[in-house]
C-alpha cells in the first residue's frame, strides 16, 4: 500500500536544517514530484522544480545512500580532490554565474585550505563544493517552508497507479515502501559498472575499498588514463603510497591542464557538410585552430568556443558518425575538453619524472589471478606485442560506461520497456525536452531524466555548467506539462 506520514518541515535555523537531513527517510505527506538521485543533477533539479512549480507543490528528493547534495563526485573524502572546472564556472545557477564565488567568499571562507588560487583561476576541492551544494539545498528547504523533502530510499521500480484513470507513478522501494508520485525525474548520475569487486580487481574506482589495504611499496595498475586516473593517483600519493603506479590505456593520453584565461574565440559556423561528418567536422575545427594560432590565441579558446554548439553538432551527426566519433575521436576530445587543475597536473608530471607513475599504451587482454596478486596480460599499442605486468591491485578507471549492465532502477526500466537505450547505448533515450522515451518509441508520461544518464542524446551533459542548464529546462517543461494536465480537468 501507499504509506503516508507527516511532512518534514523546513526551517530557517541551521539546527532545523540539520534535523531535516537527520530525519530524511520519513514518508511523504502527499503526492508530488519525486527526483531519484541526490548528486548534483538531482539536487539542482529539485531546487529548480521547487522554483518553477506552484508554491503548494511538494518536491521529494530521494537518495539511497542518505548523503544528499553529494553524490560520488562531491563526497566527504580524506583527499583534497580538486574540481576540474574553475570556481568562476561552477555556480549551481546559469542565471547567477557568481553564486558559487560569492559563497566561497562568505561561508566558504572558513575553509581556506580547500581553495587553491592559481594563474589559471581558483580551484576548489570537491568536498568543499559538496558543502556548497548542501548549503544551497538547505537554503531552498528553508525558503520553501519544507516543500522540498528528503527521503533516504533506494527506488527499485516504477509501477502504474493502483486507481484506474490516475496519472503518475508508484515508486517501489527497497524495504517495501511505496511512494505515490505525480511525476518522476531520473537523476541517477554516473552509474558504475555492475560488476563485483574483490581484494584485487576493482571495477568501481570510487569505492573506498579500492585504495585500502595496500602494501605501500607494491605495484598498483590503473586501467585508464583520464581524469579518474588523475584522482586515484592523487589519492594514493596523499595517503602515503610510494610504490609504482602503472596507468594503462590504448593511447596513453592524459588530460591537459587549464591555463590562464586568455582572449576568447568566436563560436565557429560550420557548413551542413561538416556538421554531418566527423571527418569534415574535425577538418573544420583544425582550420579554426590554425586561424586562432595565427592570432596567438591558444587551442583552449577554440575548444571552449564549441561548448554552446556541442549538443546541436552531436544531434546533427548520423548514428554511424556518432559511433565513429566514439571509436576514434572521443579520447582526444576528452583530454582537451575535460582538463585538470594545474596543481594536479604538476603532481602527475613530478611523479612521471621520478618514475613513480608510468603511462603505458596497451589494451588489456586478460587478468590472471593469484592470491593477493594479479598478472595483467596486455597487447602493447600500436605494435600489438603481448606483454604482462604484475600488481597487487587492478583498478578500472575507464570512464563512463553504458547502462546495459548497471543494475538497479535503470535496468528495471529498460527491462520493463518503460525506457529504452539511446542509439549509442550510453544512457537513456529522451526527447529534446528531456522526456523519457519508452521501448515503443513513445514519450513516457510524467517521466523525465537529466544529467549523465542522457549523455547519448546530448553528449555534453556531464559537467556542472551543462547540467544546470538541463535542470532549468526540465523544471520549466515539467511545470508546463503539469499545468496543462491540470487545465484539462
pLDDT in tens, 297-331: 999 999 999 988 998 999 999 999 999 999 999 99
CA–CA dist 106, 139 (Å, integer): 15
List the single range of 9-18, 59-68, 256-265, 352-361 with lowest mean pLDDT.
Answer: 9-18
CA–CA dist 81, 125 (Å, integer): 5
Per the DSSP assignment, residues forming a β-bridge with 390 are: 375
Cell numbers representing residue 433 in the block: 525536452
Identify which has the larger pLDDT, 7 or 287. 287
Q: Residue 414: name the closest of 450, 439, 434, 447 by CA.
A: 439
pLDDT (average), residues 395-400:
82
Q: Residue 242: name the closest of 265, 219, 217 by CA.
A: 217
pLDDT (average), residues 219-238:
94
CA–CA dist 266, 269 (Å, integer): 9
CA–CA dist 461, 464 (Å, integer): 8
Percent of the chain with pLDDT over 90: 67
Q: Rounded to the nearest 5°, which phi and psi values hold at 344?
A: -65, -40
Using DSSP, state whether 455 is helix, strand or coil.
Answer: helix
CA–CA dist 167, 76 (Å, integer): 39
pLDDT confidence tier of residue 21, bands split at 50, 70 and 90: very low
Model confidence pLDDT, tens digit, residues 196-222: 667 889 988 888 888 999 999 999 999
Whole-Å CA distances, 379 to 251, 259, 365, 375, 388: 12, 35, 7, 13, 8
Residue 463 in this model has a pLDDT that exceeds 90: no
pTM of the model: 0.87
Distance of CA 368 to the CA centre of its chain: 32
Of 193-197, 357-361, 480-484, where does the model show the most confidence?
Answer: 357-361
**Chosen CATH of 201-256+340-396 out of 3.50.50.60, 3.30.750.24, 1.10.10.60, 3.40.50.720:** 3.50.50.60
Q: Residue 236: name the closest of 251, 265, 214 by CA.
A: 214
Contact 457, 430 (CB under 8 A): yes
Per the DSSP assignment, residues forming a β-bridge with 183 are: 33
pLDDT confidence tier of residue 3, bands split at 50, 70 and 90: very low
Overall fold of domain 14-191+404-488: FAD/NAD(P)-binding domain (3.50.50)
486 Cβ neighbours under 8 A, 6+ residues apart: none
Per the DSSP assignment, residues forming a β-bridge with 224 are: none
Q: How many CB atoms lie within 10 A of CB 119?
A: 9
Q: Rounded to the nearest 5°, which phi and psi values hold at 119?
A: -65, -25
Q: Rounded to the nearest 5°, which phi and psi values hold at 202?
A: -125, 110
Q: One fold for both 14-191+404-488 and 201-256+340-396? A: yes
Domain borders along the chain are: 14-191+404-488, 201-256+340-396, 272-336
> What is the model's pLDDT at position 14?
38
pLDDT (average), residues 93-106:
95
Contact 249, 224 (CB under 8 A): yes
Amino acid at each position: 500500500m501507499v504509506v503516508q506520514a507527516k511532512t518534514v518541515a523546513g526551517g530557517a535555523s541551521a539546527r532545523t536544517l540539520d534535523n531535516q537531513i537527520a530525519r530524511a527517510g520519513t514518508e511523504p505527506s502527499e503526492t508530488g514530484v519525486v527526483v531519484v538521485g541526490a548528486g548534483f543533477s538531482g539536487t539542482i533539479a529539485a531546487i529548480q522544480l521547487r522554483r518553477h512549480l506552484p508554491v503548494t507543490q511538494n518536491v521529494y528528493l530521494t537518495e539511497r545512500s542518505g548523503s544528499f547534495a553529494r553524490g560520488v563526485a562531491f563526497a566527504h573524502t580524506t583527499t583534497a580532490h580538486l574540481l576540474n572546472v574553475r570556481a568562476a564556472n561552477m555556480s549551481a545557477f546559469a542565471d547567477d554565474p557568481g553564486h558559487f564565488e560569492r559563497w566561497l567568499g562568505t561561508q566558504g571562507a572558513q575553509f581556506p585550505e580547500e581553495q587553491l588560487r592559481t594563474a589559471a583561476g581558483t580551484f576548489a576541492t570537491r568536498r568543499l563544493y559538496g558543502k556548497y551544494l548542501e548549503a544551497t539545498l538547505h537554503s531552498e528547504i528553508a525558503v520553501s517552508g519544507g516543500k522540498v523533502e528528503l527521503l533516504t530510499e533506494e527506488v527499485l521500480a516504477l509501477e502504474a497507479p493502483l486507481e484506474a484513470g490516475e496519472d503518475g507513478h508508484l515508486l517501489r522501494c527497497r524495504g517495501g515502501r511505496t511512494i505515490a508520485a505525480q511525476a518522476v525525474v531520473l537523476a541517477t548520475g554516473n552509474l558504475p559498472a555492475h560488476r563485483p569487486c574483490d581484494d584485487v580487481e576493482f571495477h568501481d574506482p570510487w569505492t573506498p575499498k579500492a585504495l585500502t589495504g595496500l602494501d605501500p611499496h607494491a605495484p598498483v595498475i590503473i586501467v585508464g588514463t583520464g581524469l579518474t586516473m588523475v584522482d586515484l593517483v592523487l589519492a594514493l600519493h596523499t595517503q602515503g603510497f610510494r610504490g609504482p603506479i602503472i596507468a594503462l590505456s590504448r593511447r596513453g593520453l592524459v588530460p591537459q591542464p587549464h591555463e590562464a584565461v586568455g582572449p576568447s574565440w568566436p563560436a565557429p559556423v560550420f557548413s551542413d557538410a561538416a556538421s554531418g561528418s566527423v571527418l569534415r567536422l574535425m577538418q573544420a575545427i583544425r582550420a579554426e585552430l590554425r586561424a586562432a594560432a595565427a592570432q596567438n590565441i591558444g587551442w583552449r579558446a577554440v575548444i571552449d568556443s564549441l561548448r554552446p554548439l556541442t549538443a546541436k553538432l552531436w544531434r546533427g551527426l548520423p548514428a554511424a558518425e556518432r559511433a565513429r566519433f566514439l571509436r576514434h575521436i572521443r579520447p582526444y576530445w576528452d583530454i582537451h575538453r575535460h582538463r585538470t587543475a594545474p596543481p594536479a597536473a604538476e603532481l602527475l608530471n613530478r611523479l612521471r619524472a621520478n618514475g613513480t607513475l608510468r603511462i603505458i599504451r596497451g589494451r588489456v587482454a586478460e587478468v590472471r589471478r593469484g592470491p593477493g596478486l594479479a598478472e595483467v596480460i596486455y597487447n602493447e599499442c600500436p605494435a600489438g606485442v603481448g606483454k604482462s605486468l604484475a600488481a597487487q591491485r587492478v583498478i578500472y578507471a575507464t570512464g563512463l560506461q553504458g547502462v546495459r549492465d548497471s543494475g538497479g532502477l535503470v535496468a528495471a526500466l529498460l527491462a520493463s520497456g518503460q525506457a529504452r537505450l539511446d542509439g549509442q547505448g550510453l544512457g537513456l533515450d529522451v526527447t529534446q525536452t528531456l522526456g523519457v522515451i519508452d521501448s515503443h518509441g513513445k514519450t513516457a508520461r510524467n517521466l523525465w531524466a537529466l544529467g549523465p544518464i542522457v549523455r547519448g542524446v546530448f553528449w555534453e551533459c556531464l559537467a556542472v555548467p551543462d547540467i544546470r542548464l538541463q535542470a532549468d529546462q526540465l523544471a520549466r517543461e515539467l511545470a508546463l506539462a503539469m499545468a496543462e494536465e491540470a487545465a484539462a480537468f
